[in-house]
Structure 1
Amino acid sequence: MSRRSRSIPPQMPSSLGKGRYQLGKAIGVGGMAVVFKAWDAWEKEARAVKVLMPHGARNPKTRTRFLKEARTMSLLDHPHIIRIFDVGEEEGHNFFVMELLEGGNLATYVKKHGRMSPVRVLHIMFQVLQGLDYAHTAGVVHRDIKPHNMVFDASQRVVKLTDFGIARVMAGNVERITASGDTLGTLAYMAPEQRADPRDVGPVADLYGVGATTYLLVTGRRPLELALSDEGDCRALNRVPESMRNLVALATANETMNRFTTAREMAEEVSRVLQTLEPPEFYDPPVPACELMDDFEIDDTIVQVTDEITLLRDD
């Protein structure tokens, strides 16, 4: 079967980097870019290559956002953030080369397997928070924290953050690429202040996304309109320990002053909660999908795309 599909323009290249990167099958297709599994002929390693589609390259704002993602990720070197190896342009094709993770993203995992055990979820979130603490210390706010942008390695033991396409650099001269009236991010995981003004959000908005993702992973329900006082949501959260319910409540508080103040502070609380839970093993059997799984649908049409950006226009 050809690696091409109706959603991938036929003019996409078969190799890049003057033949260094041999592009194989498409492993992710978004509105503006395609992620290919590729072979690095120089390093003799499998990689992931993200290529901007031709119509995206013709849009100055989209091209700027694509290049900004590559530039931002190339500055971040952490075990829980996907690494960037190369950035380039060849015959009009903008691309960047990333490490390849083949364990799938967390949204796909939950859709396939159902909710996870609380202990496993907390271990995963601890890794995510370590990556966020590093990014925030470097002056980068992700702004699109959600399970789609958290990717397992092949063992499904290590999780890494990806898709910094709408990240905001806090230090220095902030590059403004968010147009007035646009909301960038994914509504179900978006902090209230980000919905109000996506151009001026801080690290605590990312922590809201971590809390909303935790809610999804441990309940199997989408966190859209997340409200812990809602009867249906309370029933779902009653399946998990009280200490974990409190953690989700703190992370997803409507007022920023009522949330955790830093990723490190939230990671410390995750560690504390873990110490109170049994069994202590990380890889206890996954919890089967519950009846609430019927309420869970992945936000976007293509769930395996780690480069996905949802653009919600405020009419």
Structure 2
Amino acid sequence: MITIVARSSRSLARHSRVAAAAVYHTQVLVPSGKTACMPLDMAIAGTTALCVGSLLGMPDAHTHAHVPFPQFQSTSSKTTDSASSWDLSDQVLGAGAFGVVHLGIRRDTGEVGAVKMQRNLKHRDSIQRELHALQVVQAKGGHKNIIALKDVFERDGHTCIVTEFVSGGELFDHIVNHGAFSEQDARKPMRDIVEAVAFLHAHGLIHKDLKPENVLLRFKDRARADNAATLVDFGSAGPASRASSADEIGTTVYQAPELLRRDSECTQAADVWSLGCILYVLLTGRHPFDLDGTATERQIEARIRRGKVSFKHPACRDLSPDAKDLISQLLTKDPIKRPSAQAVLDHPWMRATKAKEQPTDLLTLAMLAQRQPTPVVSVSA
């Protein structure tokens, strides 16, 4: 097995300056002294493993605001004896602050799943939030753009959450490896993401940690007509809640300005702001509040609080008027003035069938690539 190991410090605030969205790659944000591991090839049992960073739910070193939820209740009697139904591979796909992920194979059917193991006592709140959200989605018939919960069981003091495999990799990685999307290619995954968020909002849930790292593509070829985006990592999800200085919600640099004040409620409008950040990164390969990749986290937070998005950077030169208008609406400072996720689906940019192709400049690609963590590759039998 070949694994790639990336090391980092405990907090984003301690990281050196970084470029564009690459600084927020969940894959490397783990506690000091620990590592995040993922297969270099990632081809396991004929399918590609679900991206470890997203599955682990590692937004950064922050904790999440406590929102009490009822204990997860199985909707199927088969969950009761699931601990003996799944064989876990000895191979650890990844390890991070929120758990360990194994390849799992269901004994009776041969079905492959991604099994995230989290210690019950340490991650109780995150486990309950994730299971509650996934159970709500499941009870409402599921959604094609939301990761499907397959099973839940306990083993050796851990809660094991089994989800489907998604083979295409993180949206973030596609941007880093292949450049920003053209408007034509971006429209389909963006619509998928917004539809998933609108579904959550319609059923009383807020994701609270939307970012390119928490979106997976079904296939590696992002231009495939049948490709689709899948929303993952529901460890922060829940109803509206008040943010506090002690309990962070989601990833700071994708948070809405009202959440940075810590005196405001996290509402559906916070997800809409994050959608604006995703669309900006998707189309330009750059974070809207760190265009040159030289800002510190504190500087980015200050820019978010001001809430002024700019399209003057060369990376934005080919954006269509409709794209700029939609981003501006999503990144409106006043949460009351932001459109709902459902309304976003009716925006002209979302409904267009053709758009001007936007080539990604070489500087953008170089900046994103060079800010990836320097890997330490280990080879074992």
TM-score normalised by L of structure 1:
0.77
Q: Classify 1:78/1:199 alpha carbon distance in 2 versus 1 (closer, same or farther; 3 Å).
A: farther
Aligned partner of 2:252 in structure 1 is 187
What is the identity, as a one-letter code, of the residue corresponding to 2:259?
Q
Aligned pairs, number? 278
Identical residues among aligned pairs (%): 23
Residues of 2 paired with 1:48 and 1:298: CA distance?
30
Cα deviation, residue 293, structure 1:
3.4
Residues of 2 paired with 1:199 and 1:78: CA distance?
30
Q: Classify 1:186/1:293 alpha carbon distance in 2 versus 1 (closer, same or farther; 3 Å).
A: farther
Residues of 2 paired with 1:180 and 1:189: CA distance?
16
Instruction: Tell me if the contact between 2:205 and 2:239 (Cα under 8 Å) persists in the aligned partners.
Output: yes
Aligned partner of 1:89 in structure 2 is 154
Aligned match of 1:293 in 357, 360, 365? 365
1:106 equivalenced with 2:176 (yes/no): no
Structure 1: which 5+ residue stretches go unaligned?
A: 10-15, 280-285, 303-315
Q: After the TM superposition, which parts of structure 1 deviate over 6 Å for at least 4 consecutive aligned residues?
A: 2-6, 297-302
Aligned match of 2:218 in 139, 153, 157? 153
Residues of 2 paired with 1:89 and 1:39: CA distance?
16
Provide the secondary structure at the position in 1 that maps to 2:84: coil
Instruction: Tell me if the contact between 1:36 and 1:48 (Cα under 8 Å) persists in the aligned partners.
Output: yes
Aligned partner of 1:240 in structure 2 is 319
Aligned partner of 1:208 in structure 2 is 273
Structure 1 segment 1-315 matched on structure 2, within 5 A: 1=1, 7=35, 17-23=83-89, 25-52=91-118, 54=119, 57-59=120-122, 62-76=123-137, 77-154=142-219, 156=222, 157-170=227-240, 181-197=246-262, 200-224=265-289, 225=300, 227-229=308-310, 231-232=312-313, 235-260=314-339, 262-269=340-347, 272-275=350-353, 277=355, 287-288=359-360, 290-296=362-368
Q: Classify 1:264/1:8 alpha carbon distance in 2 versus 1 (closer, same or farther; 3 Å).
A: closer
Q: Classify 1:185/1:91 alpha carbon distance in 2 versus 1 (closer, same or farther; 3 Å).
A: same
What is the identity, as a one-letter code, of the residue corresponding to 1:35?
V
Instruction: Tell me if the contact between 1:220 and 1:289 (Cα under 8 Å) persists in the aligned partners.
Output: no
TM-score normalised by L of structure 2:
0.65
Structure 2: which 5+ residue stretches go unaligned?
A: 6-33, 38-81, 290-299, 375-381
Residues of 2 paired with 1:198 and 1:287: CA distance?
41
Cα deviation, residue 109, structure 1:
1.1
What is the identity, as a one-letter code, of the residue corresponding to 2:232?
T
- After superposition, the CA RMSD in angstroms is 3.2
Larger deviation, residues 199-208 vs 269-278: 269-278
Instruction: Tell me if the contact between 1:126 and 1:270 (Cα under 8 Å) persists in the aligned partners.
Output: no
